[in-house]
């Protein structure tokens, strides 16, 4: 799970996508890619296997990245709903 402000998440996704491109061009090795991967190591291993398979078969890699906004409430104000 990635959490944070929208601008921070955009930067994380952009850096992640750039690291995939750099890995495919040979600018990064597996350890470099792993250090830039924003998820846990179990998911990384599955991702790496898929990425390498796409390289071998010369098929495109499709990433579906999505999220949902959440709101954090920091205080509550009591407002009467009805007047007596």
Question: For the segment 13-52, what is each residue's pLDDT rounded down to a tens digit?
Answer: 888 889 999 999 999 999 999 988 877 888 899 999 999 9
**Helix or strand (DSSP H, E) at 30:** helix 30-36
With beta carbons less than 8 A apart as the criterion, state whether 38 and 48 touch: no
> What is d(CA 41, CA 39) in angstroms, rounded to the nearest whole number?
7
Provide the 8-state DSSP code for 40: -
| pTM as predicted | 0.67
Q: Are 9 and 2 in contact (CB under 8 A)?
A: yes
């Amino acid at each position: 799970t990635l959490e944070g402000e929208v601008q921070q998440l955009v930067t994380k996704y952009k850096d992640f996508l750039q690291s995939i491109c750099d890995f495919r061009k040979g600018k990064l090795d597996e350890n470099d890619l792993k250090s830039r991967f924003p998820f846990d190591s179990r998911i990384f291993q599955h991702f790496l296997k898929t990425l390498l398979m796409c390289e071998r078969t010369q098929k495109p890699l499709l990433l579906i990245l999505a999220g949902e906004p959440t709101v954090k409430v920091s205080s509550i104000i009591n407002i009467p709903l009805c007047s007596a």
